[in-house]
Amino acid sequence: MAETEYLTIGAVAARSGVAPSALRYYETEGLITSVRGTGGQRRYERAVLRRVAVLRAAQALGLTLDEIREAFESLPAGRTPTASDWARLSRSWKKRLTKRIAELERLRDKLTGCIGCGCLTLGRCALFNPGDRIADKGPGARLLNVPATD
């Protein structure tokens, strides 16, 4: 590719809204790649902008970097991913997002109920924890904790 088809790290940072340090970290983690120009400066293909956008969206969903890396590894090698490639990834994450929304709604609803009760203690709460039956499940606010997602 011609030199003009590459972006500097500063240009990628400005276009993506991601700090250069984060871009370097993503590169270290194998999530994005660059080539080295004269003087060893990083140069990124324009396609990295889409990859960074998808990476940030996946992080907002709560995916770990390992999960994102695994998803990126399913993308075709040797060519820029197409819209259908990205659509396939987003479909695979839709189930997780739907589950996360349901968990957050349950948390919201339980939190409102608990605050509305006024006792502010699950140990004595007749509404959500009569007889302190939740104590056997472990310490902390067991009814308010959002379970870990798969």
Q: Which amino acid is at 35?
A: V
Note the pLDDT of residue 39. Answer: 87
Q: Where in the chain is the domain with CATH 1.10.1660.10?
A: 3-81
Note the pLDDT of residue 2. Answer: 45
Token code pair at residue 44: 């990124």
**To 5 degrees, how large is the angle CA 110–CA 115–CA 119?**
115
Local structure of residue 130 (DSSP, 8 states):
G
End-to-end CA distance of the chain: 40
Paired with 42 in beta bridges are 36
- Is this prediction's pTM over 0.75? no
Note the pLDDT of residue 78. Answer: 66
Question: Please, are residues 125 and 142 in contact by the beta-carbon 8 Å criterion?
Answer: no
CATH label, 3-81, candidates 3.30.70.920, 1.10.1660.10, 2.60.40.1250, 3.30.450.40: 1.10.1660.10
Note the pLDDT of residue 3. Answer: 47
Note the pLDDT of residue 83. Answer: 84
* Burial of residue 54, with CB atoms counted within 10 A of its CB: 0-12 exposed, 13-18 middle, 19 or more buried: buried
Tens digit of each residue's pLDDT, the chain (150 residues): 444 589 999 999 999 999 999 999 999 999 999 999 888 899 999 989 988 998 998 898 888 899 899 888 888 776 777 888 888 888 888 888 888 888 888 777 777 666 656 565 655 566 666 667 777 777 766 666 545 444
Helix (H, G, I), strand (E, B) or coil at 18: coil
Helix 48-61 × helix 83-117 angle, to 10° = 20
Q: 27 Cβ partners below 8 Å, 6+ apart? A: 33, 34, 42
Note the pLDDT of residue 150. Answer: 46
44 — phi, psi (to 5°)?
A: -115, 140
Note the pLDDT of residue 90. Answer: 82
Question: Please, are residues 89 and 54 in contact by the beta-carbon 8 Å criterion?
Answer: yes
